[in-house]
Amino acid sequence: MKHSLLIAPQFYVTAPQPCPYLSNRVERKLFTGLNNLNGKTLNNTLSNEGFRRSQNVLYRPACVGCSSCISARVRVHDFIPTKSQKRTLRRNSKLIRGSHTASATDEQFDLFTQYLKNRHADGGMAEMSIIEFSAMIEETPVDTRVIEYYFINKNGRHELKSASLTDVLENGLSMVYSFFDPLLAMHSPGKFMILDHINIAREMNLDYLYLGYWVPGSPKMDYKSQYSALELFLDGKWCPIDDISSVPIDKLKGFNKTILEQVSELPLPSKY
DSSP string, 224-266: GG--SSEEEEETTEEEEES-GGGS-GGG-----S-HHHHHHTS
The pLDDT assigned to 2 comes to 46
Instruction: Please give the CATH number for the structural domain made up of 72-248.
Output: 3.40.630.30
Average pLDDT rounded to a whole number, residues 21-50: 90
Q: How far apart are CA 39 and CA 139, in angstroms?
A: 12
Q: Are 52 and 212 in contact (CB under 8 A)?
A: yes
Q: How far apart are CA 134 and CA 139, in angstroms?
A: 8
Q: For residue 148, what are the CA distances in angstroms to 71, 168, 207, 220, 228? A: 24, 15, 22, 22, 25
Residues 6+ apart with CB under 8 A from 169: 43, 44, 47, 143, 206, 208, 210
Q: Are 100 and 158 in contact (CB under 8 A)?
A: no
Could you tell me the residue ranges of all domains in the chain? 11-70+251-264, 72-248
Q: Check whether 246 has a pLDDT greater than 90.
A: no
Amino acid at 224: K
Q: Check whether 1 has a pLDDT greater than 70.
A: no
- Can you tell me whether residue 185 is helix, strand or coil? helix
The pLDDT assigned to 3 comes to 45
- Can you tell me whether residue 210 is helix, strand or coil? strand
Q: Are 182 and 113 in contact (CB under 8 A)?
A: no
Least confident stretch, 45-59, 101-115, 192-206, 218-232: 218-232
Average pLDDT rounded to a whole number, residues 111-115: 95
Furthest CA-CA distance within the chain: 63
